[in-house]
A = this chain, B = another copy of it.
């Protein structure tokens, strides 16, 4: 198995696992009226405290049109607040509401209850190595994508 073949197998598996995980997350989150990307954006706003869309676009590597539409939805659901920026009239500050925090907590609980179980197929030591390897791959993939 040469380098190229290994690369193809790893990438195939990463896409397959990623696809299954996303689909499962979408199912687990649908009772909250969100999908995985919408939740991750809400969660990022929660973590950031106060943030603008541009930053979310960059941090999550999503299309700005898509972020705009998700923001609209989250706002209409009452999960985030939007305050126009005084520095830049084109822009707004996003922050989570109390309702939004409740939803984030519920989502994390729903995901956590499912996620914890199946990963025990990997031993503890291997999990630490996996974290390291995935971090490496993640950042070099990011670089490769942004270089384009």
Contact = CB atoms under 8 A, between A and B. Distances in A.
B7 A141 contact: no
Q: How large is the interface on A (under 10, 10 to 19, 20 to 34, 35 or more residues)?
A: 35 or more
Given A7-B119, A13-B138, A14-B18, 15 more contacts: A6-B119, A6-B128, A8-B115, A10-B127, A10-B131, A13-B131, A13-B134, A15-B22, A17-B18, A18-B18, A21-B141, A23-B61, A119-B137, A121-B137, A133-B133
B18 A142 contact: no
A19 B18 contact: yes
A119 B11 contact: yes
A32 B73 CA distance: 33
Nearest to A117: B144
